[in-house]
Amino acid sequence: MKTKLALFLTVCLVLSLTSCATLFKGTTEEVNFGSNPTGAEVWVDGKLMGTTPINFRLITKKVYLIEFKYQDQTKSVYLNNHVGAGWIVLDVLGGLVPVIIDAVTGAWYSFDQSNVNVDFRAPGTFEPAVL
């Protein structure tokens, strides 16, 4: 009985340590949100998350609609993701289990950008440098 339990625990440990992206990168990334001027509301998929400047972690396997609202203006941006080819190669070299784990968890994905900024100033305006 002890041998079967030890074998089962060993198999579980090996399976949990073989998915490269899940182990080393995780399934979320921190994204920074900013605006000019600061103080714009940041809405993520229709949910108010705070005002700029702000940063928080988002699940990388999703694509998000980011809306910035400042006074009577709204600007929208999509936060897209992509699959990291390096993670796929490492998982394939590890066998079928790592491929399945990283595919299911979405750890293969990364965001296309880690900083999302919008400018609410009128086109052609500028702020003088402070010396």
For the chain, the structural domain boundaries read 13-114
pLDDT at 80 over 50: yes
Q: What is the mean pLDDT of the chain?
A: 78
Q: Does the pLDDT at position 131 exceed 50?
A: no
Return the top range by mean pLDDT from 28-32, 43-47, 83-87.
43-47
Residue 38, pLDDT > 50, answer yes
Mutual angle of helices 96-105 and 85-94, in 10-degree steps: 140
Res. 19 pLDDT band, cuts 50 70 90:
low
pLDDT at 108: 76
The answer to whether residue 97 scores a pLDDT higher than 70 is no
Cα distances (angstroms) measured from residue 50 to each of 10, 40, 58, 78, 124 = 45, 8, 14, 17, 28
Prior bond to 98 cis, omega within 30?
no
Structure tokens, 2: 């002890």
Reported for 25-29, long-range contacts at CB under 8 A and 24+ positions apart, including other chains, are 25/87, 25/107, 25/110, 26/107, 27/59, 27/60, 27/61, 27/105, 27/106, 27/107, 28/57, 28/58, 28/59, 28/60, 29/57, 29/58, 29/60, 29/110, 29/111, 29/114
- Rounded mean pLDDT, 39-52: 95
pLDDT at 93: 64
**Pick the residue with more confidence: 112 or 100?**
112
Average pLDDT in the 36-51 region? 94
